[in-house]
Structure 1
Amino acid sequence: MTIIEKPWISVGRIEDIPPLGARRIETGFATIGLFRTASDEVFAIEDKCPHKGGPLSQGIVHDGCVTCPLHNMVISLKSGQAQGADTGEVRTFRLRLSGGEIQLSGEDLAAAANAAAVPA
């Protein structure tokens, strides 16, 4: 069984991410940012700003969003959509918390792997 055939993949614990902070996960086909809000919600999105590819996990987490560290584009952590006058979006990944453990959707990871395998 490969990693993306499992329904949920453990990727760390909530305490591994400081409040209003982020961590990166390298999968081989995508880099994913895990973000923790002040109210301990955790979100997983592609760690690549749609504007210039900046590392969103190095941005500022606020109000359910992250601001790209390169050009201040604001991305919703829930929808992956750019906010305000900006346009663009990033892939989101479903996750769940189980006893403080962060688990990503294997189905979403498989979809991202399949998308990465398709030639542009």
Structure 2
Amino acid sequence: MLRITLRDGEKAIINGAVIRAVGRTQFAVENQVSILRGREVMRPEEATTPARQLYFAAMLAYIDPDNRQSHQDTVVTLLGLLVSRFASDAARSACIAFAQDIAQGEYYKALSAARDLIAFESEADEAAQAA
């Protein structure tokens, strides 16, 4: 069982349905579902870099199983782009961890690895601007 607490006005996605809390809300999830809380949801206009686009595609693969293959195709393309872009071993290891999670169908776990990739991408962009 998973217990979720949402603040007043906070949104979540459960199996593709967007819900919004009216008042502080608690609920318990008693079966297997795809769930994202508001802070984990990326809007399309926020997918402005390859790593952010990768997160967005992985998020869609997680919450939109009917179109999962299309989203996974996008993930593969974007992951190839990022691997070639990253120079550090740590960033490439994060790419591998992400790919393993996706290959095993662990989409929620892959989102965590994608957040790491966004951080690596930001660091690489900052280093390039400083040079």
State the TM-score, normalized to the length of structure 1: 0.30
More strand by share: 1
TM-score (norm 2): 0.28
Higher relative contact order (CA 8 A, sep 6+): 1
Which structure's residues are more often helix, by fraction?
A: 2
Rg larger in 1 or in 2? 2
